[in-house]
Each structure stands twice: as structure tokens, then as C-alpha cells.
């Protein structure tokens, strides 16, 4: 058994090294070339041609994998990117007589831009609307090409030239396969790198729960747009491969059916899984060639396979790598947590402040941190909040209570930017944040938890926490694939900080597990850790004690006290009166959208207006009924 364990570890380490290799450009390209050379070695031009088809599908599927597999956007018109890339390359080489290799970067840029154009209107759409709209874009693109005489309209462009560079002509199947392999390797490396980067984490968070991702501080719209841009750029490379090996291109190469087939490959391979998608592309092309009898049934067979896959093994042939991806971290086991900050004491500096070279901010207790002024929220005919004015002061815990339906969560939503208030303002630290996008508000220092815990189930616990400080990194898309070492270092530091937080919250052992495996109380803790990751000025907790037993509740109280001591103010929505009155410095009471009382817990809880709000009219007078 021990030997088995050793083998497992060895294979694990090997797999890890392989992934790191595949994440490097040289590695991925080298790998693809090796496979290509093997096929060339077999020497059969038929199979070489088949292999080129595999690379085309694989490239397209990897591109769609970024859009759908990573970011969760059901783009059903992916062939549009393929078309734009292929046509761009063809126009440059045929009509303008450019060199094929020069046309590739241009095609990539053009298609990336197309990604913005196509992606932008879909950013806020629900998944089902998004699917239909992308179908629409696919059709519109194809119709446009079909009617554009410059590219031959329905006849298409023929003949396409042969790629050449410095006297080398890629006119044989062998040469074309090697060229295609290099381009595919490029794509594999790109996708791998993005997958392990903070952008990849952001995408997966968006895919899992884009609402939570936005509120936690991720710029979801920008992330989605980024996915389209990258997906488009990869589609362009696939298009270039296609143009390189084809004699002619015409609009029938880019139909909805092509989009659907690429989608099938991605689903079969496994959303988010690079190796899976590569394998699925190979099977998709090769299987009907080997089993000639099934050629006529090809579409039916693969449709049924997709159905079976989704029902039986939704993760796909080769499941996406669990996060965190160790390939992104310094080799070896998880790093030790950063030294735990003191349980009490001045607030750790916010990164911005430290960078600016200013001295650590001192806790100025008592001054208003969050100022809510006259906030009103109307939904159609219903007024959920009416002219609410309150403060959360620095260093305090403000308890927000009120009967069910009073508008507490609505108020929190208004503060966090989920919904712009109909009237009124919200200021944080003097800055007006009314109605700004939630991730901007999160970046400015407000973090929250949700009534129903909204963790990212597809990410591990530690990744959830790291996600909480997304904004602070200031690393962009370009960094993700151009500066892997810097990425890795940054990630390593983030993981260290996250571990420290988990330690502080007594859930460090759960770091590599999925949230769904944890107990309710632990999940709550992880959510709080995530909220704290960004070093917020204000932490809003929405019924954190719900479903907890007394032990857990008193642990929660201790935790809250530690948090406040660490310099973060807290706005606490709770129903558990003893708990909330014990831990809060002040209470505010909402009833039917209005603030009906505020002050110290004793005063507020004795206030007859408050009692009546909870127990009904006349309750204050006669005591319990």
C-alpha cells in the first residue's frame, strides 16, 4: 500500500510538473509538436489531414472553453469569431497580398475587437437570453459575410494562398500540420496560463455565482468582456489555422451547426478543462473516421453522448483541475500562513495607504464611517425603504434589527450598490458611493456576507477567500499571460494571507476542500473570511447566526469582537436579540421601511414603538400576550 502511495505521489508530482510545462509557451508548443511529429511519422497523408482537423476543432473548443468553460457564458454563436478570424486572415493574404504570418496578429486583434462588440450587449443578460443573442450574432455575422462581395459573398474566397515565410512554403499536409501544431500549442499555453491566474479564478467565480462575485469585489462585467476578447482572439487563431490549410473558405464553413459542434466538444471534454477539451476534440474528429459506419450517425451519436455526459458525468471526460492550482503556487505543499496579526491593536494598513507611503491609519473611534442619508427604495408601487438615515461609526458594531420584511436586506443592497436607491445618498468615509457598481463599492472598503451563504462552490475554500481580495492586486489580463512569475508570486502571497485569515477563523484545515463539504457554521466562517480578505473598512453581516447552536453563536460573538478590535466596523443584521444586544454598541430598528428607533441596545429594546413593531399593536402596553 505504501508503494501505491508513493506511486500516487510521484504521479501527482509528475502531473504537476506537466501542467507547469504546459503552462509555458515552449512546453505547450513542444508538446503539440511532438504529437504532430508522431502523426507525421506514421506517414499517412489521410491521417495527417485528420490531425489538422483535430487541431482546428481543438483550437476553437479551447476558445469556447474560455468563454463557456471558465466564465460560464453560454455562447452559442462561437463560429462568428472563427469566421471573422478566418476571413480577416484570408482578406489580408488574398486581397491585400500580405504574408500569412503577418495576418495572424491582425486577425487576432480584429476578432478580439469583435469580441467586445458581440460581448458587450450580452454582459448583463441571463444565461438563456445570452444563448439566444449569441445565436443571433452568429447568424448576423454569417449573413453579413454571405452578402459582402468583397469577400466573394456566398462563393467565398478561392483560392487561398499557401503560408510562406523566408522561402519556406507550407504546402504539404505535413508542413501544415506542424504549423497548426505550433499555433495550437500557443493557444494551449495561453489558456492554461489564464486558467491558473487570478483572472481564471475570477472567471470561475463569475461562472459559479456572478452576483456574489460582483458584490465580493470582482469587476464581473469587465471579466466577462475579457472572456469574450480572449475567446475571440483564440477563435481567430483557429480561423488562421483553417485558412492556412484550406483551399477555399465560404460562409457555409461558419454555420450555427459549427458552433453547436464546438459546444459539444467543450461539454464532452469538460468545462474548464484543457486536457479534456483536447481529448474530446480528438475523439470528435477521429471516431467517425475510424468507425466509418457511424459517419451518417455522427451528429446523433454525439448529441446522445452530450446528453449522457451532462447527466452522468457533468464534469466532462477529464474534469477541470480543482483549485487552487498548485501549478500557480511555489512548488510543494501549501505555504505556511503569514504570521497572524495581533488579536487586538491598530488596524493593519490597507494596501493602498501603505503604497502611498502614508503612516498607518489610526483608528478614530466614534466618527461616522458610513453615512446613509434619506435613502428611499421603491419597486414599482411598493416602497421598501422610506427615508432611512443612519450612521455606522468607526470601530463600532451597529446592530440592524426589525421584523421580517422590514427592509433590512434591501437597505444593505442599497448600500452595497446592488440596487440604486430611488432617493437618498450613501457615503463611505466621505466618498459618495450611491448607486455605484457593487465591485467598486467593495473596492472602496465595504464587504458583506449574505443571508443564504453564497460561497463559490466550484472553488476551494482557500480560493474563495483569495477571491475576496481580487481588487487589491491591480493585475490585469496582460499580466496573467505575459508575466507568469509575477502572477505566481502574487498568488502565493495572496494564498498566504488567505491562510492567515482562515487560521484566524479556525477553519484553516478546510483550506483545500469545497464549501459544500463543510458544516454550516464553518461555511459561515469561510464567508466571513472572504469578506475580510479585502481588508474592508466596513463589514456587513446579514444574519450570520442563523442556524447556529449556542456554542457557535458565542464563538461568533468572540469573532466579531476580534474583528472590530482589528479595526473593521461592523453592520450586523440579526434576529437573535440576546446576541445582537450583547455584541452591538448601538442598535437601529427598521419597520416597514422606516427607521423607527436607534440608540443603545437597552434603550431601543425597551422602546414601546419597537416592541409594538415586533409583537403587534398594544403589545407594549400589556406585556406578552
Partner 1 sequence: MTTPSTPASGPARAPRLRRLLALTAACALALTVAACGSDDEESAGGTSGGEPYKIGILAPTTGSVSSDGEDMVNATKLAVEEINAAGGIDGRKVETVVADDACEAQQGVQAAQKLVQEKVIAVVGGFCSAATLPAIEVFERSGNLPFVVSVSSNPDVTDPGRKNIVRIIGRDDQEAPAEATYLRDVLKSEKVAIVHDNTEFAVSVAKQARSLIEKQGTPEIVYYDAIKPGGNDYRAMLERVKREGADTLFYTGFHPEFGPIARQWGSLGFDYRLLGGASTINQNVIKLAPKAAADEKFSIVTYPTAVLLEGEQAEKFRADYKKLSGNDPGSYGVFQYDGMQVLFEALKAAPDKTDADSLNARLREVKHSGVTGDIAFDEKGDRSAFPFLAVRSVDDSFAPSWSISPAGSWTEGGL
Partner 2 sequence: MDNLLQTLVGGLTIGCFYALVALGYTMVYGIIRLINFAHGDLVMVAAFAGWLMLDGTAIGNLPAVPALIVAGAVAIAVTVVIQLVLLRVLYRPLIAYPLGFMIVALSVAFALQQTVRLIFGASNRSYPGYGISNDSMEILGIAVNGMDLVVIGLSGVLMLGMLWFTQRTTTGVAMRALAVDHDAARLMGINVRFLIAIAFAVGAAFAAVTGVLSGVYYQRIGFDMGFLLGLKAFTAAVVGGIGNVGGAMVGGLLIGVLEVFVQSYLSGSWSDASIFGVLILVLYLRPRGLLGERVAEST
Q: Which is nearer to partner 1, 457 or 503 (CB)?
A: 457
The one among 250, 391, 469, 527 contacting partner 1 by CB under 8 A: 250
**Can residue 132 be called a binding residue for partner 2 (CB under 8 A)?**
yes
Angle, to 10 degrees, between the axis of helix 2-23 and the axis of helix 25-42?
Answer: 100
Interface with partner 1 in residues 594-613 (CB under 8 A): none
Site string for partner 2, 211-240 (x = CB under 8 A): x-----------------------------
DSSP letter string, 608-620: HHHHHHHH-TTHH
Among 360, 33, 330, which Cα is nearest to 185's? Answer: 33
Q: Which is nearer to partner 2, 55 or 259 (CB)?
A: 259
Q: Which is nearer to partner 2, 136 or 492 (CB)?
A: 136
Cell (9 digits) for 386: 422610506
Cis preceding linkage at 324, omega within 30: yes
Considering CB under 8 A, how many residues would be counted as binding partner 2?
Answer: 40
Angle, to 10 degrees, between the axis of helix 220-245 and the axis of helix 198-208?
Answer: 110
Alpha-carbon span 81 to 138, nearest angstrom: 8
Which partner from the list partner 1, partner 2, none does 457 bind, CB cut-off 5 to 8 Å by kind? Answer: partner 1
The one among 128, 149, 293, 362 contacting partner 2 by CB under 8 A: 128
What's the residue count for the chain? Answer: 625
**Can residue 158 be called a binding residue for partner 2 (CB under 8 A)?**
no
The one among 146, 376, 383, 471 contacting partner 2 by CB under 8 A: 146
Instruction: Indicate the pairing of strand 397-401 with strand 168-169.
Output: unpaired
Which partner from the list partner 2, partner 1, none does 42 bind, CB cut-off 5 to 8 Å by kind? Answer: partner 1
**Can residue 207 be called a binding residue for partner 1 (CB under 8 A)?**
yes
Which partner from the list partner 1, partner 2, none does 282 bind, CB cut-off 5 to 8 Å by kind? Answer: partner 1
Considering CB under 8 A, how many residues would be counted as binding partner 1?
Answer: 62
Name the strand (E) or helix (H) holding 431.
Answer: strand 431-432
Please report, for residues 102, 144, 155, 157, the alpha-carbon distance to residue 150 in angstroms, rounded to integers and kept in the order given.
Answer: 20, 11, 11, 9
The one among 358, 509, 517, 602 contacting partner 1 by CB under 8 A: 517
The one among 12, 336, 367, 602 contacting partner 1 by CB under 8 A: 12
Instruction: Indicate the pairing of strand 569-573 with strand 586-591.
Output: unpaired
**Can residue 126 be called a binding residue for partner 2 (CB under 8 A)?**
yes
Please report, for residues 391, 587, 608, the alpha-carbon distance to residue 597 in angstroms, rounded to integers and kept in the order given.
Answer: 13, 8, 10
The one among 78, 81, 87, 137 contacting partner 2 by CB under 8 A: 137
Alpha-carbon span 397 to 544, nearest angstrom: 14
**Can residue 56 be called a binding residue for partner 1 (CB under 8 A)?**
yes
- Helices H / strands E in the chain, number of each: 25, 12
Q: Are 527 and 449 in contact (CB under 8 A)?
A: yes
16-24, 135-143, 178-186, 500-508 -> range binding partner 2 (CB under 8 A): 135-143
Give me the residues that bind partner 2 (CB under 8 A), please.
Answer: 68, 72, 74, 76, 121, 125-129, 131-133, 135-137, 139-140, 143-144, 146-147, 211, 260, 263-264, 267, 271, 296-297, 299-300, 303-304, 306-307, 310-311, 314, 379
Amino acid at each position: 500500500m505504501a508503494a501505491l502511495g508513493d506511486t500516487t505521489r510521484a504521479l501527482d508530482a509528475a502531473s504537476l510538473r506537466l501542467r507547469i510545462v504546459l503552462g509555458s509557451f515552449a512546453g505547450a508548443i513542444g508538446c503539440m509538436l511532438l504529437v504532430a511529429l508522431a502523426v507525421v511519422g506514421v506517414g499517412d497523408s489521410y491521417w495527417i489531414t485528420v490531425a489538422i482537423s483535430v487541431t482546428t476543432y481543438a483550437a476553437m473548443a479551447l476558445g469556447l472553453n474560455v468563454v463557456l468553460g471558465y466564465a460560464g457564458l453560454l455562447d452559442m454563436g462561437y463560429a462568428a469569431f472563427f469566421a471573422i478570424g478566418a476571413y480577416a486572415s484570408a482578406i489580408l493574404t488574398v486581397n491585400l497580398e500580405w504574408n500569412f504570418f503577418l495576418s495572424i496578429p491582425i486577425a487576432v486583434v480584429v476578432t478580439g475587437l469583435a469580441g467586445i462588440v458581440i460581448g458587450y450587449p450580452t454582459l448583463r443578460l441571463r444565461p438563456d437570453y445570452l444563448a439566444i443573442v449569441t445565436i443571433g450574432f452568429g447568424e448576423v455575422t454569417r449573413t453579413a459575410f454571405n452578402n459582402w462581395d468583397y469577400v466573394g459573398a456566398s462563393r467565398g474566397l478561392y483560392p487561398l494562398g499557401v503560408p510562406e515565410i523566408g522561402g519556406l512554403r507550407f504546402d504539404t499536409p505535413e508542413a501544415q500540420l506542424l504549423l497548426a501544431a505550433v499555433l495550437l500549442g500557443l493557444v494551449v499555453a495561453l489558456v492554461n496560463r489564464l486558467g491558473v491566474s487570478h483572472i481564471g479564478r475570477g472567471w470561475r467565480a463569475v461562472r459559479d455565482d456572478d452576483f456574489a462575485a460582483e458584490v465580493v469585489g470582482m469587476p464581473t462585467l469587465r471579466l466577462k468582456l475579457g472572456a469574450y476578447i480572449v475567446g475571440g482572439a483564440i477563435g481567430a487563431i483557429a480561423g488562421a489555422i483553417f485558412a492556412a490549410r484550406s483551399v477555399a473558405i465560404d460562409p457555409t464553413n461558419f454555420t450555427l451547426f459549427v458552433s453547436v459542434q464546438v459546444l459539444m466538444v467543450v461539454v464532452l471534454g469538460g468545462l474548464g478543462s484543457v486536457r479534456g477539451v483536447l481529448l474530446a476534440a480528438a475523439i470528435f474528429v477521429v471516431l467517425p473516421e475510424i468507425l466509418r459506419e457511424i459517419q451518417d450517425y455522427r451528429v446523433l451519436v454525439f448529441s446522445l453522448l452530450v446528453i449522457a455526459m451532462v447527466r452522468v458525468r457533468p464534469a466532462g471526460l477529464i474534469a477541470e483541475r480543482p483549485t487552487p492550482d498548485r501549478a500557480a503556487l511555489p512548488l510543494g505543499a501549501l505555504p505556511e500562513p503569514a504570521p497572524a496579526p495581533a488579536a487586538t491593536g491598530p488596524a493593519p494598513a490597507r494596501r493602498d495607504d501603505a503604497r502611498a507611503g502614508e503612516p498607518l491609519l489610526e483608528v478614530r473611534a466614534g466618527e461616522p464611517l458610513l453615512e446613509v442619508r434619506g435613502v428611499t427604495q421603491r419597486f414599482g408601487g411598493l416602497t421598501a425603504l422610506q427615508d432611512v438615515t443612519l450612521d455606522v461609526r468607526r470601530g463600532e458594531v451597529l446592530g440592524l434589527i426589525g421584523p421580517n420584511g422590514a427592509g433590512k436586506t434591501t437597505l444593505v443592497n442599497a448600500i452595497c450598490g446592488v440596487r440604486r436607491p430611488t432617493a437618498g445618498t450613501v457615503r463611505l468615509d466621505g466618498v459618495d458611493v450611491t448607486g455605484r457598481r457593487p465591485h467598486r463599492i467593495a473596492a472602496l472598503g465595504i464587504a458583506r456576507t449574505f443571508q443564504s451563504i453564497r460561497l463559490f462552490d466550484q472553488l476551494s475554500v482557500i480560493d474563495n477567500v483569495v477571491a475576496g481580495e481580487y481588487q487589491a492586486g491591480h493585475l490585469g489580463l496582460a499580466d496573467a499571460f505575459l508575466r507568469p512569475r509575477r502572477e505566481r508570486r502574487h498568488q502565493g502571497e495572496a494564498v498566504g494571507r488567505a491562510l492567515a485569515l482562515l487560521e484566524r477563523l479556525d477553519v484553516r484545515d478546510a483550506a483545500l476542500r469545497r464549501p459544500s463539504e463543510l458544516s454550516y457554521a464553518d461555511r459561515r466562517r469561510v464567508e466571513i473570511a472572504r469578506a475580510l480578505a479585502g481588508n474592508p473598512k466596513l463589514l456587513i453581516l446579514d444574519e450570520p447566526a442563523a442556524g447556529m447552536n449556542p456554542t457557535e453563536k458565542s464563538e461568533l460573538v468572540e469573532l466579531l469582537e476580534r474583528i472590530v478590535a482589528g479595526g473593521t466596523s461592523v453592520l450586523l443584521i440579526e434576529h437573535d436579540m440576546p446576541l445582537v444586544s450583547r455584541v452591538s454598541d448601538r442598535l437601529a430598528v427598521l419597520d416597514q421601511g422606516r427607521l423607527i428607533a436607534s440608540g443603545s441596545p437597552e434603550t431601543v429594546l425597551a422602546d414601546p414603538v419597537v416592541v409594538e413593531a415586533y409583537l403587534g399593536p398594544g403589545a407594549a402596553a400589556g406585556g406578552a400576550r
